[in-house]
Amino acid sequence: MACLSGELARRPVARTVLGTPLALFRAGDGRAAALLDRCPHRNAPLSLGRSRDGLLECRYHGWRFDGEGSCRLVPGLCDGAGADRPARRAQPFPVAEHDGFVWVVPDISLGEEARFFDAGPPRFPCVDEPGYVTVRRSLRVESTLHAALENTLDVPHTAFLHGGLFRGGREPVDIEVVVREGAGMVEAEYLGEPRPTGIAGRVLAPHGGVVWHVDRFLLPSIAQVEYRLGRHHLVMTSAFTPVADFDTRLHAAVTFRLGVPAAVARAVVTPIANRIFAQDEMILRRQAENIRRFGGEQFSSTELDVLGTHVWRMLRRAERGEAGPADPAEAAERRVRMRV
Whether residue 185 sits in one domain with residue 103: no
- The answer to whether residue 124 sits within a structural domain is no
Q: Which helix (H) or strand (E) element contains residue 237?
A: strand 232-244
Query: The domain containing residue 200 runs over which residues?
Result: 133-339
Q: Alpha-carbon dihedral of residues 110, 15, 18, 5, nearest 10 degrees?
A: -60
75-79, 96-100, 120-124, 170-174: range with highest mean pLDDT: 96-100
CATH number assigned to the domain comprising residue 66: 2.102.10.10
DSSP 8-state class, residue 229: E
pLDDT digits (tens, 9 = 90+) for 118-136: 667 778 889 888 999 998 8
Whether residue 253 sits in one domain with residue 281: yes
- The answer to whether residue 114 sits within a structural domain is yes
pLDDT digits (tens, 9 = 90+) for 57-73: 999 999 999 999 999 99
Whether residue 158 sits in one domain with residue 112: no
Phi, psi of 301 (to 5 degrees): -110, 160
What was the pLDDT predicted at 74?
92
Question: What's the mean pLDDT in 281-308?
Answer: 93
Q: What share of the chain is helix, strand, coil (3-state, %, to 5)?
A: 25, 35, 40
CATH number assigned to the domain comprising residue 252: 3.90.380.10
Question: How many structural domains is the chain composed of?
Answer: 2
Q: What is the pTM of this model?
A: 0.84
Whether residue 172 sits in one domain with residue 93: no
- The answer to whether residue 127 sits within a structural domain is no
